[in-house]
Amino acid sequence: MCNAIMQELKSFHTEFCPMASKDKGKGEEMKIKILILTMVLIFGFVIVPNVDAKAGIPDKVRIGLYYNDEKGGYNNTVANLKLSSSKGVRIYSSGTKGSLLWKYDGSKSITITKDSTSNKRLLVKSEDGSIVLKRDSLLYIVPGANVISVNGSKYRGAIEIKIVNGRDMTVINHVGLEDYLYGVVPCEIQSNSHTEALKAQAVAARTYVLNNMDKHAHLGFNLCARPVCQVYKGYSVERASTNAAVDGTKGKIVTYKGKPATTFYFSSSGGMTENVSNVWGGKFPYLVSVLDQYEGKNSWNYNWNKEFSPIEIEEIMKRRGSDIGRLTSIDVTKRSEAGRVIEMQVKGTKGSETFKNNNCRTVFSLYSQLFDVDMGKGMFMVSSDDNIYSSTTVNKKVVSAYGTAIFTKHAKNLSVIGAGYKGILEGTPNTIKITGKGWGHAVGMSQEGAKGMAVEGFRFDEILRHYYPGTKVE
Ligand SMILES: [Zn+2]
């Protein structure tokens, strides 16, 4: 799941999985997870197939490669598609049980476009540009070989192309579950990780599918290929090591009381994972805080910091519809037992807003919920029209009845004695420095921790049971 977000090697991402950063598309990811957890809270059930866990494992999944999601505000439908396989393609009217419309045995490519004069017609052109097929709404394309190339990316399985609501083409990959996982695991964890960590990742990814088969049902497929589900890049990114991890755990999933568990995972925790109630709310007996003592402390984004100017914070608040005026402080008012910020107050001259749990992280797009805030306060000279004349006291003069003094250092607070006033003038924020540890939401399996455990000799099932306590791997 995008929890997978959690790749640490930046270069790896750039090369194979540029979308795999857990924090890209995090808004949508979080919304969806919150939805799931809210349902659990309100209705008291976990969305799982109402059958024996093992019997509920599907053979095939439908993965949205290009699609439009009106409600989610996402659209990557395509106007042109170039397809080819080394042994030609067969085009059916629907699934393979539909009628065969056209076939080609060579290795040349075909191009499919949406007819610009219609809002539902698809045109299939051969390599020489001649139109070989016109068809409304849907095409189901089966390659003669194992893989099919779609705009340069290779996929196992078949490709469904359709027009939805007059948009450009929606493209869905119909693929075997295990074949799908071949294209997921290398995007969610480095393929050179220890075998047992790769296997743990494969099982977590397989289990994730079972609880999310209906996630995009309204769009005609099960899961998308983006971090908001699990990053999937098909055959093009497969590696021998990750394929072996999928094969070596074939059909295995994490269960709790006989049902598939909700297997969230993330990159690194900073020492301890988090109880789901402190992140998205809700209660899962196995999504609780556990010690993450084996994680490598040098993972991508393990130690991080971010800096903001007061104006940047004020703008972020404004965009949320909360005009706090001039920022005066950001106070962490509550932490979880594991140390994560679970309540935070952003105060200004006109008002304040309180954030809880995961929102403490997402409001400022931080890498994790485990952080400290340093307001870097200083003295400002503010005129009556609110213009700031100085953000540091260094070299500024103070004039009193006894003469003039010059500040040699930057003062965070100032003691003032006047005719009718004696007290401390609190400094106003200068640069807000946020320093944190870990990357990702910290609920469930820590991928860095899993790697560390694997190196220490733990098997994949022991790793999974550590991060999802009380579960079974079967
Ligand atoms: Zn998705």
Q: Ligand 1 center to residue 210 CA distance, Å? A: 13
Pairing outcome for strands 60-66 and 223-224: parallel
CA distance 57 to 251: 8
Mean pLDDT throughout 449-453? Answer: 97
Residue 421 has pLDDT above 50, yes or no: yes
Q: Using the predicted structure, report yes or no on whether residue 441 has a pLDDT greater than 70.
A: yes
250 vs 176: CA distance, rounded Å: 12
Q: Is 405 exposed, middle or buried (0-12, 13-18, 19+ CB in 10 A)?
A: exposed
Which has more pLDDT, 398 or 178? 178
Average pLDDT of the residues in 88-103: 90
Percent of the chain scoring above 70 in pLDDT? 80
Separation of 252 CA from ligand 1 center, angstroms?
22
Amino acid letter, 473:
V
* Å from CA of 187 to ligand 1 middle: 15
Q: Is 137 left (phi over 0), alpha (psi -120 to 50) or beta?
A: left
pLDDT of 293 higher than 80: yes
Annotate 228-252 with b (16+ C-beta within 10 A) or e (fewer): bbbbbbbbebbbebbbebbeebeeb
Confidence of residue 384 (pLDDT cuts 50, 70, 90): low
From the number of C-beta atoms within 10 Å of its C-beta (0-12, 13-18, 19+), residue 459 rates as middle
Question: How far away, in angstroms, is 221 Cα from ligand 1 center?
Answer: 9
Distance between Cα 223 and ligand 1 center (Å): 5
Predicted confidence at residue 301, as pLDDT, reads 82
| Angle between helix 195-210 and helix 447-455 axes, rounded to 10 deg | 140
Instruction: Please indicate whether residue 14 or residue 155 has the higher confidence score (pLDDT).
Output: 155
Residue type at position 301? N
Better pLDDT: 228 or 9: 228
Q: How far is CA 149 from the centre of its chain?
A: 26
How crowded is residue 101: how many other Cβ atoms within 10 Å of its Cβ? 17
Q: What's the CA gap between 182 and 236, in Å, rounded?
A: 10
Distance (angstroms) between ligand 1 centre and the Cα of 418 equals 62
Residue pLDDT, tens place only, 50-72: 345 666 789 999 999 999 998 88
| Contact assessment for residue 297 and residue 437, using Cβ atoms and an 8 Å cutoff | no
Ligand 1 centroid from CA 25, angstroms: 10
CA of 50 to the centre of ligand 1 (A): 22
Ligand 1 center from residue 181 Cα (angstroms)? 15
Alpha-carbon separation of residue 336 from 6, 199, 344, 451 (angstroms):
22, 31, 12, 25
Give the residue with greater pLDDT, 137 vs 129.
129
Quick check: 137 and 176 in contact, CB under 8 A?
no
Cα 338 to middle of ligand 1, angstroms? 30
Q: List residues bridging with 327 in a β-sheet.
A: 348
Distance 417 CA to ligand 1 centre (A): 61
Least confident of 35-39, 391-395, 439-443: 35-39
Residue 199 Cα to ligand 1 midpoint, Å, equals: 23
3 sits in the region (left: phi over 0; alpha: psi -120 to 50; else beta) called: alpha
pLDDT at 4: 39
pLDDT tops 60 at residue 31: no
Over residues 315-324, the pLDDT tens digits come to: 999 999 999 9
SS3 per residue for the chain: CHHHHCCCCHHHHHHCCCCCCCCCCHHHHHHHHHHHHHHHHHHCCCCCCCCCCCCCCCCEEEEEEECEECCCCEECCECEEEEECCCCEEEECCCCCCCEEEEECCCCCEEEEECCCCCCEEEEECCCCCEEEEEECEEEEEECCCEEEECCEEEECEEEEEECCCCCEEEEEEEEHHHHHHCCHHHHCCCCCCHHHHHHHHHHHHHHHHCCCCCCHHHCCCEECCCCCCCCCHHHHCCHHHHHHHHHCCCCCEEECCEECCCCEECECCCECCCHHHCCCCCCCCCCCCECCCCCCCCCCCEEEEEECHHHHHHHHHHCCCCCCCEEEEEEEEECCCCCEEEEEEEECCCEEEEECCHHHHCCCCCCCCEEEECCCECCCECCCCCECCCCCCCCEEEECCEEEECCCCCCEEEEECCCCEEEEECECCCEEEEEECECCCCCEEHHHHHHHHHCCCCHHHHHHHHCCCCEEC
- CA-to-CA distance for 431 and 297, rounded, in angstroms? 27
Dist. CA 162 → ligand 1 center (Å): 18
Residue 38 banded pLDDT, cuts 50, 70, 90: very low
Domain map of the chain by residue range?
1-69+183-297+439-474, 78-163, 303-376+431-437
Q: 229 CA distance to ligand 1 centroid (A)?
A: 4
- Tell me how far CA of residue 212 lies from CA of 31, 61, 165, in angstroms: 14, 11, 25
How many angstroms is it from 258 CA to the middle of ligand 1?
26
Question: Does the pLDDT of residue 48 top 50, yes or no?
Answer: no
β partners of residue 150:
83, 153
> 207: phi > 0 → left, psi -120 to 50 → alpha, else beta; which?
alpha
Q: Which of 97-111, 295-309, 407-421 has the lowest mean pLDDT?
A: 407-421
- Span from the CA of 216 to the centroid of ligand 1 (angstroms): 7
Question: 1 alpha carbon to ligand 1 midpoint, in Å?
Answer: 9
Ion ligand 1: protein residues whose beta carbon lies under 5 Å: 224, 228-229
